[in-house]
Amino acid sequence: MRVLIVNTSENAGGAAVAAHRLMETLNKNGVKAKMLVREKVSDGLTIVPLPQSFRLRWNFLWERLCIFLHLHLSRKSLFEIDIANTGTDITALREFQEADIIHLHWINQGMLSLKNIRKILDSGKPVVWTMHDIWPATSICHLTLGCTNFTQRCQHCKYLPNGGGKRDLSARVWKRKEEMLNGHRIHFVACSRWLADEARKSALLSNQPVTNIPNPIDTSVFSPSDKNAARQRLSLPADKRLLLFVSQRVTNRNKGMTFLVDACRKLVADNPKFKENTGIVILGGHSEELESAFELPTFALGYVSDTQKIVDVYNAVDLFILPSLSENLPNTIMEAMACGKPCIGFEVGGIPEEIDHLKNGYVAKFMDADDLAKGIHWVLDEADYQSLSQSALQKVARNYSQQNVAARYIELYSEISHTPFKP
């Protein structure tokens, strides 16, 4: 069985990481999988770039320009919506023609247009689309932020000035998506049960199958190791309890950094010793901009792409905190748990599916800095830490192991291609 995984980026962002891990997982389990990306940045033999041309860059710029004009020259939501009005036809590529299954992931920002996807469907090849956010089930947005228009028909979008005006962009893109799907079947996969439930509410996907399969993680890479040795390699202090916050761009408001700042401020106010014995590690782009925001010793590590160094960061800390305001099934929580670290996050999206409250971490009330502080205090000062750590490891092994996830995808591939799997 040959599977072509299609994703805009090779390694930047959570979707790219998940897609790459799935490709590796499938290859380890007898499936011949390749990954098609806009630009190849590694020397991996199973990574295939689009034919390089000026058009690739232009596709991205043209879509942003169209969105920029519809936003009345405002940058506020420039990267919060996508219209897929331009992209690359991949059906003539040898890798596409050889594939038995086409597996789409995050294909925005000029990778594939809606017309390109329609052409893929017209080819007759079975198509799986793993949803890393709600965009495939809405018109233009990746985060609905409480909007329910997509359950009937997207229009008058809150991201657009005056709801889009007379030439409502969201209504027009919705119609194009309806036309793309008309007469065709895509097998949508959501990484979390929460996202699967949201997708099933979409009028756009009312006749499409939606299932739930989580992302895989390689527990031979993300695994517990000596904390003190990891701290030495990262030049982190050995005498403090360390909290960890991770994001590709830590200044992203959706990641909820302000709630973590407020929670730590409360902990210091309630217990001044907290400032003496606890520090916070920030991993991600622009982390240096937040060093002065905390009343705790802060260690900004910047953006890191080296996997082993990322594993060291998880092993060097005591607790991982992700106070996001919207999430699907965060890879970062999975990675931290695979290294035996208790986790804390808000009760939103797929986070409560990963964190079992008071078993391997703490699920705080949504957007509640006081409860976030309570969770930090509980994990560090009240709970049986070793029990939390062991429970985290067991959760990952039971639900997110490569073998488990690969088996579920292989079963889906075999079902939709009507071809028994032969490794």
pLDDT digits (tens, 9 = 90+) for 248-303: 787 788 888 999 999 999 999 998 889 899 999 999 888 787 778 888 899 989 88
| Locus of tokens 């657009």 | 160
140: confidence class by pLDDT, cuts 50, 70, 90: very high
- Note the pLDDT tens digit of each residue in 84-132: 999 999 999 999 999 999 999 999 999 999 999 999 999 999 999 999 9
pTM of the prediction? 0.85
What does pLDDT average to over the chain?
92
Q: What is d(CA 119, CA 128) in angstroms, rounded to the nearest whole number?
A: 15
What pLDDT is recorded for position 422? 57
The residue among 391, 388, 390, 339 whose CA lies nearest residue 218 is 339
- Note the pLDDT tens digit of each residue in 190-234: 999 999 999 999 999 999 999 999 988 989 999 999 999 999 999
> Facing residues of 245 across strands?
282
Average pLDDT over residues 172-178: 96
CB atoms < 10 A from the CB of 260, how many? 25
What pLDDT is recorded for position 364? 97
Residue type, 388: L
- Note the pLDDT tens digit of each residue in 57-78: 899 999 999 999 998 888 888 8
User: By the 8 A CB rule, do 15 and 132 touch?
Assistant: yes
Q: Is the dihedral of CA 98, 100, 105, 108 positive or negative?
A: positive
* Beta carbons within 8 Å of 54's beta carbon, 6+ residues apart: none
